[in-house]
Amino acid sequence: MLLQVTNSPFNQEQAELLNRLLPSLSESQQLWLSGYLSACNTQAAASAVGLQNPPGALQQTEATQATKELTILFGSQTGNSQGLAEEISEKLKSMEYKITLESMNDFKVKDLKKLTYLLIIVSTHGEGDPPDTALPLYEFLYSRRAPKLNDLHFSVLALGDSSYEFFCQTGKQFDARLEELGAKRLSPRVDCDLDYDEPAARWFEDVAQSLKKMDGDFSSGPAGDGAFVPAVSSPIPDQPKYSRTNPFRAEILENINLNGRGSNKETRHLELSLEGSNFKFEPGDSIGIYPENDEELVNSIIEELQLDPSESVPINNQGEVRSLAEALKNHYEITVLSKQLLEKASEANEKLKEFIESGDHHKDYVKGRDLLDLVRDFSPWNISAGELVGTLRKLPARLYSIASSYQANPDEVHLTIGAVRYESHGRKRNGVCSVHCAERAEPGDALSVYVQKNANFKLPSDPDIPVIMIGPGTGVAPFRSFLEEREEIEAKGKTWLFFGDQHFVTDFLYQVEWQRWLKNGVLTKMDVAFSRDTKEKVYVQHRMLDHSRELYDWLLEGAHVYICGDEKNMAKDVHATLLEILEKEGGMTSEEAVAYLADMQQEKRYQRDVY
């Protein structure tokens, strides 16, 4: 119904404003506005006669309080989304919101229609895929069962890696789908690269200001009791001083090549001292290492661009500066190209701009190339040292699964790192962190590290539950941690390890330790696959099929299954093999086998740490 000026107390301009506003309000918004105006009138009347707490004001406080319920859902593979969600939850609690904080894996989708405010914090895994914990909600939203969400107000914080083509794809999909279902944005989606602290803080401030307006709090000043700063950069007393943004300098105690002479691989076993760090970790967590770029590569880039290596350039937004040479060595990513980097760099290079505008060639170009390739391929350049670092993203840490138990080694952490070396586009290439550890990190040196929690890859709380571990190559690292822990706590549950690599003689990582655990019963059973020792290549999934009946029996006993390692090939093959075993030994249809594994994932009996 339109408001007519002739029979209302409003002038023409006010009536037009109301006629534009009222049809756009949902039922809950109309009720809130009605209560708000009623309370304002009651408060004004009460003030005139000196009442402090008129009845209407109390009712309005209760109504407003009822709307201050907010749900935060996170979808996390490595723990970053969960960590941010927990910090934002605490901040919103200080603003007197009643917070429900859950992993998407635990959220009951039937409750979606009941929500008024929803924040989604989700990472993108692999080539644009949702993380495992996000799959149930993701699939529900894209199913025919997804409800209309006209009363929902939401915002999405997307985490990703801009070196991948489908950057923040999962966050973009959640954002678009919620809009399609009728939900309204509290604030625009923000897409974060690996260095996510500042954009995450800006997103939170936008969300907080929108919430204040929605709930009728129009006071000026920062949201809540101050601007949001992730706890990793502002520790509170019961947390360690060191963190992702303030890494600990861990001394290298041991650096050993695990592979034998003649191996095609080089796998380093690192033992780091954590004494004084106040770090604590559990089996399944990871260590982040901030590496150094190869000095030879840094010098080649500076020489090609004819820049002064001693010129000062910024390394952050706080005004800190370093020499160009040090900045490129320690602070900026120079070994990975992305579309975003090419677009920024094209501002200083017309030839590159034409290349980008001519089509999607950049998708193929960025694969296997680094900054030196870009500099040489599109020479000459008209770029200053400051402009150069302005095109680059921060040098991100590399995550490695912890290969030791805190209970067994409280002042140490052990890592298993495979050195990455390959040739691409006529040049030899090195993995930034792995080759730094293999070639330039000696005992007595120090590495900048922090602990990355991973709640999605954890041993069962009941030590009597059977455990099946599948980890070829360096993917076996967390299972060394699992078994050290179970030995320390004297767990009684059965354990079964599937391990694979190229050659028995040169590549049987931690062989003596597995044999000792088999002898003392910490490890119940072990099956190995050495792919290059036989005419036909044999992998861990083949060994699983060899023992399909026994493996199925373990599943019936409630065993938890863990997979660690390569996602593109190994993890997909192992997943397919599990489905095959369920069909073969359990007499299931393919649909029933898929549902069985999905239920295992939901129950946290099937966990993956894949990359």
Model confidence over 354-382: pLDDT tens digits?
A: 999 988 778 889 999 999 999 999 999 99
Which parts of 215-338 fold into alpha helices (H)?
295-305, 324-330
What is the predicted pLDDT for the residue at 319? 87
Total residue length of the chain: 611
Q: Are 451 and 280 in contact (CB under 8 A)?
A: yes
The answer to whether residue 133 scores a pLDDT higher than 50 is yes
Digit-coded pLDDT (tens) for 1-45: 555 545 555 666 666 666 666 666 554 455 446 545 544 444 444
Digit-coded pLDDT (tens) for 515-571: 999 999 999 999 999 999 999 999 999 999 999 999 999 999 999 999 999 988 999
- Residue whose C-alpha is closest to residue 218's, from 210, 206, 229: 210
The answer to whether residue 235 scores a pLDDT higher than 70 is no
**Counting beta carbons within 10 angstroms of the beta carbon of residue 599, is it exposed (0 to 12), middle (13 to 18) or buried (19 or more)?**
exposed
pLDDT band at 351 (very low <50, low <70, confident <90, very high): very high
pLDDT band at 143 (very low <50, low <70, confident <90, very high): very high
Q: Are 608 and 560 in contact (CB under 8 A)?
A: no
What is the predicted pLDDT for the residue at 13? 63
What is the predicted pLDDT for the residue at 58? 40
Which sign does the torsion angle of CA 149, 154, 160, 162 carry?
A: positive
The answer to whether residue 587 scores a pLDDT higher than 50 is yes
The answer to whether residue 585 scores a pLDDT higher than 90 is yes
What is the predicted pLDDT for the residue at 504? 97
Digit-coded pLDDT (tens) for 72-116: 999 988 888 999 999 999 999 999 999 999 999 999 999 999 999
In terms of DSSP bridges, do strands 427-430 and 267-273 run parallel, antiparallel, or are they unpaired?
unpaired
Average pLDDT, the chain: 88
What is the predicted pLDDT for the residue at 30? 56
Q: Give rounded-to-5 percent helix, strand, coil for the chain.
A: 40, 20, 40
What is the predicted pLDDT for the residue at 219? 45
As a whole number of Å, the CA-based R_g of the chain is 28
The answer to whether residue 203 scores a pLDDT higher than 60 is yes
Of all helices (H) and strands (E), which one includes residue 287? Answer: strand 286-290
The answer to whether residue 233 scores a pLDDT higher than 80 is no
CA atoms within 13 Å, Cβ hemisphere of 93: 10
- Residue whose C-alpha is closest to residue 275's, from 445, 416, 410, 437: 410
Asked if omega into 131 is within 30° of 0 (cis), the reply is: no
Average pLDDT over every residue of 270-297: 96
Average pLDDT over every residue of 265-287: 97
In terms of DSSP bridges, do strands 467-470 and 495-501 run parallel, antiparallel, or are they unpaired?
parallel
Q: What is the DSSP string of 146-212?
A: PPP-TT-EEEEEEE--TTSTTTTHHHHHHHHHHHHTT-EESS--EEE-SS-HHHHHHHHHHHHHHHH
Q: 288 by DSSP, 3-state: which?
A: strand
Phi, psi dihedrals of residue 163, rounded to the nearest 5°: -80, -10
- Residue whose C-alpha is closest to residue 72's, from 138, 105, 118: 118
- Residue whose C-alpha is closest to residue 129's, from 166, 88, 158: 166
**Counting beta carbons within 10 angstroms of the beta carbon of residue 478, is it exposed (0 to 12), middle (13 to 18) or buried (19 or more)?**
buried
* Bridge partner list, 421: 430
The answer to whether residue 223 scores a pLDDT higher than 80 is no
Q: How many CB atoms lie within 10 A of CB 52?
A: 7
The answer to whether residue 582 scores a pLDDT higher than 90 is yes
Label residues 342-366 b or e (16+ Cβ within 10 Å = b): beebbebbeebbebbeeeeebeebb
What is the predicted pLDDT for the residue at 450? 97
Of all helices (H) and strands (E), which one includes residue 418? Answer: strand 412-418
What is the predicted pLDDT for the residue at 62? 44
Range ranked top by mean pLDDT from 8-12, 133-137, 232-236, 482-486:
482-486
Contacts of 206 (CB under 8 A, 6+ apart): 155, 186, 187, 188, 190
The answer to whether residue 340 scores a pLDDT higher than 80 is yes
CA atoms within 13 Å, Cβ hemisphere of 158: 24
